[in-house]
Amino acid sequence: MEKLARRSGKLLNIHAEMASSPVVLAAYAGLTDAVAKQGSFDARTREAIALTVGAVDGCDYCQAAHTAGGRKAGFTEEEAVAIRRGEVGFDDRLAALLAVLREAAGNVGHVSDQAWNTAREAGWSEQELGEAFAHLAGNLFTNFFNHYARTDLDLPPAPPLNAP
């Protein structure tokens, strides 16, 4: 728990909720540790993935947390909103990866050949697309957990998607 509090600057409600079940906390730690130790994506890409999956799943908590994380990773608020909308016109390569994850999150893991091939043509390797799945799984875990546990928002809310 101390490690989680250090990472975010305080103990967040999601972590306190997870701590009520050792198996939930261990599963979360296993996913996040694997991505942290074995993953190759930079903070900007990780936050963009989380914003995308959180928007598809309608997780207000994760959208709030990753809007803040996205700012730390270098995104403007407008870019974070655009990512959540699926309108990533400012980075074609990132947009191609996020299109794969948007489809996977919204279609129970299914991704069209067109989205996959566009990501490959944009320069994403098979290994990176595999890694993206691990990020997807971790984000689905936290999104679904927040819905399941009805985690109270203890962060500033993400801007609405209809924001200018």
> For residue 52, how many other CB atoms are within 10 A of its CB?
28
**pLDDT at position 102 over 50:** yes
CA distances for 39 relative to 12, 54, 128, 131, 144, angstroms: 24, 20, 9, 7, 22
Domain spans of the chain? 2-149
- As a whole number, the mean pLDDT across the chain is 93
Residues near 140 by Cβ (< 8 Å), separated by ≥ 6?
53, 57, 105
Residue-wise pLDDT tens digits, 144-161: 999 999 999 999 999 999
> Count of H helices and E strands in the chain?
9, 0
Confidence check: pLDDT of 4 > 50: no
CB environment 75-93: b (16+ within 10 A), e (fewer): beeebbbbbbeeebeebee
Mean pLDDT of 100-105: 98
- Region 114-121 average pLDDT: 98
What pLDDT band is residue 58 in, cutting at 50, 70 and 90? very high
DSSP code, position 10? S
Instruction: Read off the pTM.
Output: 0.91
pLDDT for 5: 44
Residues in CB range of 142: below 8 A, 6 or more apart: 14, 28, 59, 62
Asked if 41 and 49 count as a contact pair (C-beta separation under 8 A), the reply is: yes
Could you please state the CATH topology (level 3) that the domain comprising 2-149 is classified under.
AhpD-like (1.20.1290)
* CA separation for the pair 44, 40 (Å, rounded): 12
User: Which one-letter DSSP state was computed for residue 153?
Assistant: P
